[in-house]
Structure 1
Amino acid sequence: MIYLDYNATTPIDKRVTKAMEPYIYDIYGNPSSSHELGKKAAKAVKKARSQVAKLLGANSEEIIFTSGGSESNNTVIKGVAETYQDQGNHIITSQIEHPAVINACKYLEKKGFQITYLPVDKYGMVDVEDVRKAITDKTILITIMHANNEVGTIQPLKEISEIAHKNEVLVHTDAAQSVGKIPTKVNELGVDFLSVAGHKLYAPKGIGALYIREGIEIEPLIHGGGQEFGKRAGTENVIFAVGLGEACEVVNNNKLRKLTDYFYDSLVNEFKDSIILNGHPEKRLPNTLNVSFKGMDGLEVLNQLDDIAASTGSACHSGKKEPSRILKAMDIDNQIAMGAVRFSLGRYTTKEDIDKVMEQLTNCIKFD
């Protein structure tokens, strides 16, 4: 199979698997134990934490391990809400966030919080001025994703953070799609919280990380022991933490922009103006190509391809197909949105893979 669905998940890198193996079979101690096996496990977690911190340009003490991006997002949103509710009950987010952000915000709405869901432009980008106008004296958090999972558009986080901090508002970003693909240095972005999902960067599913800027205290999502500096209880997942640390160590996506551009140019050369790019033409993840096949159904396009994994731009609800809410928020025409297919390239994608996909697309798609 030719795999072009790396934004959905990635295979585990063999170097990551190799790093994890000793902690599966031999070094199985509890990191909280005082004996040798426990000390070795604790040392491994410490190393992994420093590897994640290095990739993000953070201090090790600012990184906590979680079960994934969804837990990291929920920890921040619910934790800030509970900790700062005496200062305000207003949170700002966007209409195109991951469900782990949207649904956490909807949960808080039931608890009396006010949520502003900012619109996006035709490229899927939040307007910085909309952020500025939305801030009130009750705003306690702005949570805007770094890059969108469907169209790859990268948000102006640095500018958003500057506005937020001038108004003494905390900033969180869901960086599940961007970590490992583009620079995600927390100080350059200016964020107070940043979520990482391991399975998006060649680590296992079920492991993530959360950056919490030094000096910020929020109520934990999970209460219990004092693990993770008291910010996330539960015996550490040593095996997967080691995997995530190694994945952060071996990040390298230098070839992706060139290969994605080659794919897009090939599509345009073959199908001309019957291909429409969804997302920002430049400020977009280097591996993400969301295109609409004019007058066609994205699912039908994929069904005609043999052994090629990609995603469509539509969702099925109660037997009725609808365009994705992301494309709807971008105000893309329904018919165009229904023809969307997301191809997301990754570490193991080759030019030969792209040529084979193009050959199949050319053979099976005929425009009038």
Structure 2
Amino acid sequence: MIYCDFAATTPMDPEVAQVYTKVATEYYGNSSSLHDIGGLSHSLLENCREELANLIGIDKSGLYFTSGGSEANFLAIEALLSSPKKEGKHIIAGIAEHSSVHGTLNRLNKSGYDITLVPFNSVGLIDQEQLLHAIKSDTILMILQHVNSEIGTIQPIEEIAKVCNVNHIHLHSDIVQSFGKIDVTPIAPYVSSLSFSGHKIYGPKGIGGAYVDPRIKWEPFFPGASHEKGFRPGTLNIPAIAAMTVAAQKIHARLSEDTIHFQSLRSHFIETLGPIKDRIKLYQAGGESQLPSIIGLGISGIQGQWLMLECNRLGFAISTGSACQIGMQHQAKVTQALGLNREEAKEFIRISFGQSTSLEDVVRLGKTIVTIVKTF
């Protein structure tokens, strides 16, 4: 089976797995315990916090470890709402945000918050005209994913953050898909909070982090929480934190190399689809606004789920969108954000490459899709 669903998750790097095992067996103390064994875990924890903060370009005092990106989104949003820059109950978010964000927004809406969702333009970037038009005097929070997980478009966070700052609005950005794939340090100084995850960068599942600007005096969502300055309850997973840190170091060391690799894979894959190009719609922004490792597309007349199953039968793992939405009886959020009709939404598939993906892999996948479509 050739795996082409790296945007959903990645295999753990063997060296990272060794780190996890070593820390789990040798640094087993609770990092909050006051004895020497606990102190060793605490020292390792803080070293990891500092290293990850440097890679992201943030103040380590605002970095909190979570069980993953979903929890980080939830807790960061709640932290910002506990300390708004002004009075109000209006929140703006992109339609194509992660399901964890939409789940939080649905609950907030029932609690009395006014939610405005903004679509993408035709190339998959947030519609800035509608975004600006949506701002009200009582807008206190904006939520915008840095890189869309289904089509890989890179949103202009720095530019939008400046608008938020002028209007005294907190900005939260989910960088789960951009962390380790592009340099996120340029946007870090401009946002109120960030969220990231370990399993998208060849680290373990069940670990991630949230950053909240230390200047924000947030209130704990969970009363009585004693870990991470009260940001969340529960004993910290030191082995996973250490493993995620090593994974982050490794992926950042080869950032330029990976980018060139993915650009080559993308161009060759699209070229291989040439025989059916008249039936293909690529959803992409192009240039520096596009992550090359994620390809979102639709093939007219072919349902994405059927194509995914055919590819699986022939030895290729692709997807029909975010794994967090699979099985739900509604179209992927990105297809709503792009304004696709029901039939176009059903045709959507996502292909995402990783470090182990070879040129031969993508050419074979492209030829397989061409054969499936022509046979159909």
TM class by smaller structure: over 0.9
Counterpart for residue 32 of structure 2: 32
The one-letter amino acid paired with 1:173 is S
Which whole-Å CA distance do the structure 2 matches of 1:223 and 1:249 have between them? 34
Contact 1:92 1:139 in 2 (8 A): yes
Q: What aligned pairs does 1:113-152 form with structure 2 within 5 A after superposition? A: 113-152=113-152
Q: CA deviation at 1:142?
A: 0.7
* Total equivalences in the alignment: 364
Moved more, 329-338 or 254-263: 329-338
Counterpart for residue 291 of structure 2: 285
5+ residue gaps in structure 2?
none
Which whole-Å CA distance do the structure 2 matches of 1:133 and 1:337 have between them? 27
Distance 1:309 1:189, change over 3 A: farther
Which whole-Å CA distance do the structure 2 matches of 1:60 and 1:276 have between them? 43
5+ residue gaps in structure 1?
none
TM-score (norm 1): 0.92
Contact 1:260 1:287 in 2 (8 A): yes
Which whole-Å CA distance do the structure 1 matches of 2:328 and 2:13 have between them? 35
Which whole-Å CA distance do the structure 2 matches of 1:223 and 1:155 have between them? 35
The one-letter amino acid paired with 2:248 is C
Which whole-Å CA distance do the structure 2 matches of 1:15 and 1:316 have between them? 34
- CA deviation string 1:52-109 (max 9, x = no partner): 1122111221211011111111112223223339721111111111111112111111
- Is residue 2:106 matched to residue 1:101? no
The one-letter amino acid paired with 1:294 is S
- Is residue 2:201 matched to residue 1:196? no
TM-score (norm 2): 0.90
Counterpart for residue 357 of structure 2: 349
Q: What aligned pairs does 1:1-368 form with structure 2 within 5 A after superposition? A: 1-84=1-84, 87-185=87-185, 187=187, 190-251=190-251, 252=254, 253-254=258-259, 255-267=261-273, 269-282=274-287, 283-305=289-311, 306-312=314-320, 323-366=331-374
Which whole-Å CA distance do the structure 2 matches of 1:189 and 1:277 have between them? 33
Contact 2:16 2:203 in 1 (8 A): yes
Which whole-Å CA distance do the structure 2 matches of 1:304 and 1:115 have between them? 39
Moved more, 88-97 or 15-24: 15-24
The one-letter amino acid paired with 2:221 is L
Moved more, 77-86 or 350-359: 77-86
User: Runs of 4+ in structure 1 displaced over 4 angstroms?
Assistant: 186-189, 313-318
Which whole-Å CA distance do the structure 1 matches of 2:328 and 2:174 have between them? 26
What RMSD, in angstroms, separates the aligned Cα atoms of the two structures? 2.1
The 3-state SS of whatever aligns with 1:199 is coil
The 3-state SS of whatever aligns with 1:366 is helix
Contact 2:158 2:186 in 1 (8 A): no
- CA deviation string 1:335-361 (max 9, x = no partner): 333222110111111112112223322
Contact 1:69 1:176 in 2 (8 A): yes
The one-letter amino acid paired with 1:256 is F
Task: Give the fraction of aligned pairs with identical amino acids, expressed as a percent.
Answer: 32
Q: CA deviation at 1:173?
A: 0.3
Distance 1:350 1:77, change over 3 A: same
